[in-house]
């Protein structure tokens, strides 16, 4: 499927929360430089905010269209009594109204009113013929995202205030709640532009996929001034390429828990654009595989990478499994065919083994015993740490090359107990492969084996790729071993995934993908 050059041209909005007017003005200009189309100014974040003085300074220096927001404290749960709650609410509402009046005079493009106090204020603004500024009515929900029906009713209530645009923000408890937001955006009977998304890691896809389902704005934060729950403007522009997302875009993503470490988007999305393929790749923080696959069953969700801790469990949800993946007992890639069936594959196996083989060949280590499939691994002792999905893939690959494999794992089963690894003495010239998260950011100071044994290994491979140069690889290099980074495995398995994702539209651009990895990882 082609069409990668089509665009939906979604508006990207930078949410600004500076504490001074000077910083707010500076941030507006930075937002423009970072690719924002509009800025949202949170007046309530400005210390000692004074309507006439501060709004004039902001709006006379705006480089982009401006949304003026003053978040009112309608929820008085932390106040001491009803009178105090009402007094504060009325005071803020009055100040807010004065701000909106002045904002209109100075040229604010949008004014944002919260639903709780919107009806009377919108009517007043309309009565005073504030036609120059469009009115956004917003609702910030606590708890789980409401049902599709409740969202529909809420949207209709918000539109009935006379709003020119409505905005609904929730807090996601589960990624499957985002399906309700997508349904609202794509099936709503509301006739005004709608913004709807959920904050937090589980809700991230609601923001990134908003252009696909018809959202009016995509929110982002300034580089260096991150806002919890929002992607950065840079990632929206460079990693996710949101300007290219439209209703025909196929969705791919990494199913994992956690998922924030993933570098998949900065590799797959530019590759899709390079191939002129209309797809997007996003992180998917999944708590329940069964519920996830039940909810996201559309062919629009066309494929998935599978990460920790789901590579083995995901097999259960595949309608068919490739023989190699079946022999490993783990999948790292799932493709949804046109008939809706899920097909499981494993690209980890060949990615890791060829990375190890090529590294040995590059160092030109002679091996008279390299007869089995012409592999330098033939006959070598091959030590694998971890028997999860990645560990199994590496072990099966090593066995297929004639290596003698020993596996150490916490839940060891047929493997050796992990605790005994600290006393294990490998053969001279053995291969070590770490397939556990040990050494992954932020806990980067650990290694899975005794440091004194590293000198026995010809080569040490670490599946961890954040950081790129792990402590294990540094210690191995100091001991004289060849080091192979998990980045190399990541690249090679991603090339395999790209071929599966795009369904043979064109060859995966290996040189292009390698350049991205070398530059960005």
User: 309: helix, coil or strand?
Assistant: coil
Look at residues 74, 75, 73, 70 and name the one whose alpha carbon lies nearest to residue 40. Answer: 70
Q: Which residues pair with 134 in a beta bridge?
A: 110
Q: What is the rounded distance in angstroms from the CA atom of residue 295 to the CA atom of residue 289?
A: 10
Contact (CB, 8 A) for 409 and 387: yes
Sign of CA dihedral 199, 200, 203, 207: positive
Dig out the tokens for 303 from the structure. 């494929």
Q: What is the rounded distance in angstroms from the CA atom of residue 406 to the CA atom of residue 426?
A: 10
Burial class (CB in 10 A: 0-12, 13-18, 19+), 480: exposed
Q: What is the rounded distance in angstroms from the CA atom of residue 487 to the CA atom of residue 16?
A: 35
Instruction: Determine the angle formed by the axes of helices 486-502 and 510-520, rounding to 10 degrees.
Output: 140
Maximum CA extent, the chain: 90
Residue 311: active-site member: yes
> How many CA atoms are closer than 13 Å to the CA of 147, on its beta-carbon side?
3
CA angle (256 as vertex; 298, 237 as ends), nearest 5:
75
Length of the chain: 521
User: Of 100, 311, 364, 520, which residue is the catalytic one?
Assistant: 311
Instruction: Please enumerate in sequence order all residues whose Cβ is within 8 A of that of 484, keeping only pairs 6 or more positions apart, or say none.
Output: 355, 356, 359, 459, 460, 461, 462
Look at residues 4, 63, 67 and name the one whose alpha carbon lies nearest to residue 34. Answer: 63
Q: Where are the alpha helices (DSSP H) in 34-147?
A: 51-59, 82-106, 118-127
Long-range contacts of 438-447 (CB under 8 A, 24+ apart): 438/385, 438/464, 438/472, 439/464, 439/470, 439/471, 439/472, 440/261, 440/464, 440/466, 440/470, 441/261, 441/466, 441/467, 444/470, 444/471, 445/471, 446/471, 447/471, 447/472, 447/475
Q: What is the rounded distance in angstroms from the CA atom of residue 213 to the CA atom of residue 501?
A: 21
Instruction: Please enumerate in sequence order all residues whose Cβ is within 8 A of that of 286, keeping only pairs 6 or more positions apart, or say none.
Output: 175, 255, 256, 257, 259, 292, 310
Question: Which residues are annotated as catalytic?
Answer: 311
């Amino acid at each position: 499927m082609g069409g990668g050059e089509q665009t939906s041209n979604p508006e990207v909005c930078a949410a600004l929360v500076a504490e001074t007017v000077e910083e707010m003005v500076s941030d507006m200009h930075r937002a423009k430089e970072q690719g924002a189309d509009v800025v949202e100014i949170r007046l309530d974040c400005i210390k000692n905010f004074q309507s006439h003085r501060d709004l004039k300074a902001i709006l006379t220096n705006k480089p982009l269209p401006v949304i003026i927001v003053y978040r009112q404290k309608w929820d008085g749960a932390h106040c001491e009594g009803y009178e105090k709650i009402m007094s504060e609410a009325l005071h803020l509402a009055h100040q807010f109204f004065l701000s909106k009046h002045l904002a209109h005079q100075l040229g604010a493009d949008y004014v944002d009113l919260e639903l709780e106090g919107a009806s009377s204020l919108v009517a007043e603004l309309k009565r005073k013929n504030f036609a120059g500024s469009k009115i956004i009515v917003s609702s910030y929900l606590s708890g789980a995202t409401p049902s599709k029906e409740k969202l529909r009713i809420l949207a209709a209530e918000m539109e009935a205030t006379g709003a020119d645009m409505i905005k609904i923000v929730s807090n996601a408890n589960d990624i499957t709640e985002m399906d309700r937001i997508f349904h609202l955006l794509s099936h709503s009977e509301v006739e005004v532009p709608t913004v709807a998304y959920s904050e937090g890691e589980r809700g991230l896809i609601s923001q990134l996929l908003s252009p696909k389902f018809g959202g009016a704005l995509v929110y982002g934060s300034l580089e260096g001034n991150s806002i919890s729950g929002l992607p950065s403007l840079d990632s929206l522009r460079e990693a996710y390429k949101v300007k290219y997302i439209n209703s025909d875009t196929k969705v791919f993503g990494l199913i994992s828990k956690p998922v924030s470490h993933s570098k998949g988007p900065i590799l797959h999305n530019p590759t899709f654009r390079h191939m002129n393929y209309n797809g997007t790749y996003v992180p998917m923080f999944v708590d329940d595989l069964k519920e996830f696959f039940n909810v996201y069953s559309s062919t629009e969700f066309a494929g998935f990478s599978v990460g920790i801790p789901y590579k083995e469990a995901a097999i259960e949800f595949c309608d068919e499994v490739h023989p190699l993946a079946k022999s490993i007992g783990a999948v790292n890639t799932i493709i949804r065919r046109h008939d809706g069936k899920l097909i499981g594959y494993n690209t980890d196996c060949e990615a890791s083994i060829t990375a190890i083989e090529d590294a040995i060949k590059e160092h030109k280590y002679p091996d008279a015993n390299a007869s089995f499939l012409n592999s330098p691994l033939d006959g070598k002792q091959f030590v694998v740490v971890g028997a999860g999905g990645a560990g199994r893939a590496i072990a099966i690959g090593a066995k297929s090359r004639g290596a003698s494999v020993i596996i150490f794992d916490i839940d060891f089963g047929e493997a050796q107990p992990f605790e005994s690894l600290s006393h294990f003495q490998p053969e001279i010239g053995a291969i070590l492969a770490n397939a556990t998260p040990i050494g992954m950011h932020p806990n980067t100071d650990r290694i899975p084996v005794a440091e004194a044994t590293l000198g026995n290994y010809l080569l040490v491979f670490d599946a961890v790729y954040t950081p790129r140069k792990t402590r294990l690889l540094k210690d191995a290099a100091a001991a004289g071993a060849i080091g192979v980074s998990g980045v190399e495995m990541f690249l090679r398995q991603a090339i395999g995934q790209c071929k599966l994702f795009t369904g043979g539209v064109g060859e995966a651009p290996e040189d292009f993908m390698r350049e991205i990895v070398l530059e960005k990882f």
